[in-house]
Structure 1
Amino acid sequence: MYESILVPTDGSEISATAAEEAIELADDGGTIHALAVVEALPMYKQSGKGAKLEGSDESEARAYLTDATDRIEAMADDAGVDCETKITSGVPHREIVSYAEENDADVIVMGKRGQGAAANDILGSTTERVVERSSSKVLTVPEA
């Protein structure tokens, strides 16, 4: 269905569910892009998993997110779908939208809410910001 699919991940179960959905949507010869963002904000402003890594350094966050992108890559490999992974630093919604534009993503598939689910009623703040700012289609996947 889609040739280039971006799957942002924060390591949450919902981002793994979104990856499963993305793999199902991939065309033969399509590529999944697993992107994780180390949140570059002061700790008091961080959302989601970043807040749970309080007191840790960036290398610990990168190791956690490497595991998350590696899991998505393994899922894609098992399904015979190409996968590229990237971990970057910055403001998550900005990095996601930028990556989608730079890589001509046909669609962004992400969970409605990730690690910071308790802070938002309908959509997670990152998901909401991506939906508002992206020129790509955005498919939001609900929690099971």
Structure 2
Amino acid sequence: MNHVIAIDGSAPSLRALSALLKLTPSPQRGQIHLVNVQPALLPGRNCLSAEEIATMQQQDGEAELAEAVALLRQQGIAFSSHIVKGSPAEGIVACAQDTGANQIYMGTRGRGAAASLLLGSVATKVVSLSPVPVTLVR
């Protein structure tokens, strides 16, 4: 089994990682792939060069992954991390496809159905785009 866990540095995303570790016994856990999606930024529009944007996205992604990385290292659990650029939902699903994941775990912000209808939701979009099961953790 391969698992993708969407990590944005928030408490719900860290709870999703904890849920995977609790729900999946170690021998059956397979590979763990942490994915962080950074927004796509265009050079010039933000007064930054392409290199500056790439550096900023890498640093921001590493910072958002830091707590999840520390948790897995502390427990001696092997993993890989991925920082991708673009739309969050598409980036998460693309990472799952690229890594051959069998499942996606992600946190939700708990906005509720009405807000989700009005604003859209990354979790809702991932569920609709994903060819593999998605576990949502609140």
Aligned residues: 126
Residues 131 and 55 (structure 1 numbering): CA distance in 2 closer, same or farther, change over 3 Å? farther
The alpha carbon displacement at 1:61 in A equals: 4.2
Q: Deviations over 1:40-82 (max 9, x none)?
A: 268xxxxxxxxxxx99973444323202223212212223321
The question of whether the paired residues in 2 share the 8 Å contact of 1:7 and 1:34 is answered with yes
The question of whether the paired residues in 1 share the 8 Å contact of 2:6 and 2:106 is answered with yes
Give the corresponding residue for 2:35. Answer: 35
Give the corresponding residue for 1:82. Answer: 78
Higher-helix-fraction structure: 2
Q: 2:37 and 2:21 mapped to 1: Cα distance?
A: 20
The alpha carbon displacement at 1:13 in A equals: 1.2
Give the corresponding residue for 1:121. Answer: 115
The question of whether the paired residues in 1 share the 8 Å contact of 2:9 and 2:67 is answered with no
The alpha carbon displacement at 1:122 in A equals: 5.0
- What is the letter of the counterpart of residue 115 of structure 2? D
Higher-strand-fraction structure: 1
Instruction: Pick the aligned partner of 1:5 from 3, 6, 31.
Output: 3
Q: 2:78 and 2:92 mapped to 1: Cα distance?
A: 19
Runs of at least 5 residues in structure 2 that lack an aligned partner in the other structure: none
- What is the letter of the counterpart of residue 92 of structure 1? P
Percent sequence identity is 27
The question of whether the paired residues in 2 share the 8 Å contact of 1:8 and 1:110 is answered with yes
Per the normalisation by structure 1, the TM-score is: 0.73
Q: Please identify the structure whose Cα radius of gyration is greater.
A: 2
**Over aligned residues, Cα RMSD in angstroms?**
2.9
Q: 2:21 and 2:77 mapped to 1: Cα distance?
A: 7
Runs of at least 5 residues in structure 1 that lack an aligned partner in the other structure: 43-53
The alignment partner of 1:121 has SS state of helix
Instruction: Pick the aligned partner of 1:24 from 8, 22, 42.
Output: 22
Q: 1:122 and 1:70 mapped to 2: Cα distance?
A: 28
